[in-house]
Amino acid sequence: MDGYVGVKFQTIQQSNQLRPEVADLYVVFKRTCDRLKAHDMTPANAGNVSVRFGKGFFISASGSNLGCIEKKELIFVERCDVEAERVLYHGTLNPSSESIMHWLIYRDRPEAQAIIHAHDESATRPELLAGKVEESEREEPYGTIELARMAIATFGRAERIIVLKNHGYVAIGPDLNRTCDLVVDTHLKLLGREKIQQPPRS
């Protein structure tokens, strides 16, 4: 992604070890990322994917290419201190630059068990997007608290999926598979190929 400089918050590594569950989670992450890749939604190091786990979440690492994600690129975020812009994590790489956004969404939407942030050129084209998906009021720089809070505000008008202006989708769901279904369905809808299938908000 042009202009990518990595994370914009302080990262504090708690350990370089991950729980044994990471092996099974990697299979699900890889399957999800392969589906996004099949629809050209994994450009360079853009996008991030996460799954709630206990009081934290597993998320793709900063700079990951989702189209060829590796197991070492799954990072566990234990906690985020939003005001201090600090992220505590476990793993060998820095967590995604949008970790604070994922943290705030999980905090605000307790029903969400998975989050996908995917880039799609269709979602940045006003003539395709108009009236089909809730879009944030303005553009904010990636990896910032401002973008994270803009996502929360936009989800206040949406059920399961939004578009961050000139940036990409953010979708939530009960698991990665169904969250990916929603992202792909939305992508196809914008291209005029399929209806959006959005589960009701619980």
Q: In the chain, where are the structural domains located?
A: 10-190
pLDDT at 201: 44
Smallest CA-to-CA distance from 167 within 47, 59, 65, 84 is with 47
Query: What is the rounded CA–CA span in Å between residue 45 and residue 98?
Result: 12
pLDDT at 25: 96
HEC letters along the chain = CCCCCCCCCEEEEEECCCCCCHHHHHHHHHHHHHHHHHCCCCCCCCCEEEEEECCEEEEEECCCCHHHCCHHHEEEEEEEECCCCEEEEECCCCECCCHHHHHHHHHHCCCCCEEEEECCHHHHCHHHHCCCCEECCCCCCCCCHHHHHHHHHHHCCCCCEEEECCCEEEEEECCHHHHHHHHHHHHHHHCCCCCCCCCCCC
Residues of the chain whose pLDDT is less than 70?
A: 1-5, 194-202
Class level of CATH domain 10-190: alpha beta
Backbone angles phi, psi at 187, to 5 degrees: -55, -45
Where on the phi/psi map is residue 167: left (φ > 0), alpha (ψ -120 to 50), or beta?
alpha
pLDDT at 194: 59
How much is the pTM? 0.92
pLDDT at 45: 81
